[in-house]
Amino acid sequence: MEIPRVISTLKKETPKFKETIITKVSRRQSPFQVLVSCILSLRTKDQVTSKASERLFSLATTPEKILSLTERQIQKAIYPVAFYRIKSRNLKKMSKILLENFNGEVPSKMESLLELPNVGRKTANIVLVHGFQKHAIPVDTHVHRIPNRLGWVKTKTPEQTEFALRKILPKKYWQDFNDLIVTWGQNVCVPISPWCSKCAIKKYCKRVGVGRSR
């Protein structure tokens, strides 16, 4: 398993591609905005999430301000993200919980984050990494798929992948891992017919489950 070489190569290669929405948001904004952007991004393309986040943050950047908006105002701001009606409702619920239970602050512990509407382990881990600079491994479809293709893990669910990666991935790589793998998964190691011919880490890859490639 050539983990250090793979990580080193990806760090050199990924700047060639457009950064993910969560990376963009986390560079300059608060844990609350990272959390909101994560929720908006679920089942939604990055470009749509980016514009929706900007529109919403022009109106509200705190739980108090979200609660001051009507659901209709939130819906209008975040449309056309997937499930925008449900997400607008949950953003208000989440903001109320944050104010009532956490003094208006986003909690920095996994257990507390999971109490919030629309927040699963992936979102919670992203908030821990990008909102609080903690060591965590957010696992989405790309981070689940690519370590399995590489042959690093043999797992069936993202949650299994998270805990398997915790065992083999040195902690110094945890914070960068999601950004690197998601960028690679969106541009090179795509779900169907990956670009193996131009993959900079192909010599380290066992291509598990890869049939057709380009």
Residue positions annotated with a catalytic role = 122, 140
The CA distance from 197 to 124, in Å, is 35
Distances (CA, A) of 83 to 74, 76, 115, 198, 211: 12, 12, 20, 36, 33
Distances (CA, A) of 20 to 99, 125, 148, 186: 29, 16, 22, 9
Helices 31-41 and 46-57, packing angle to 10 deg: 140
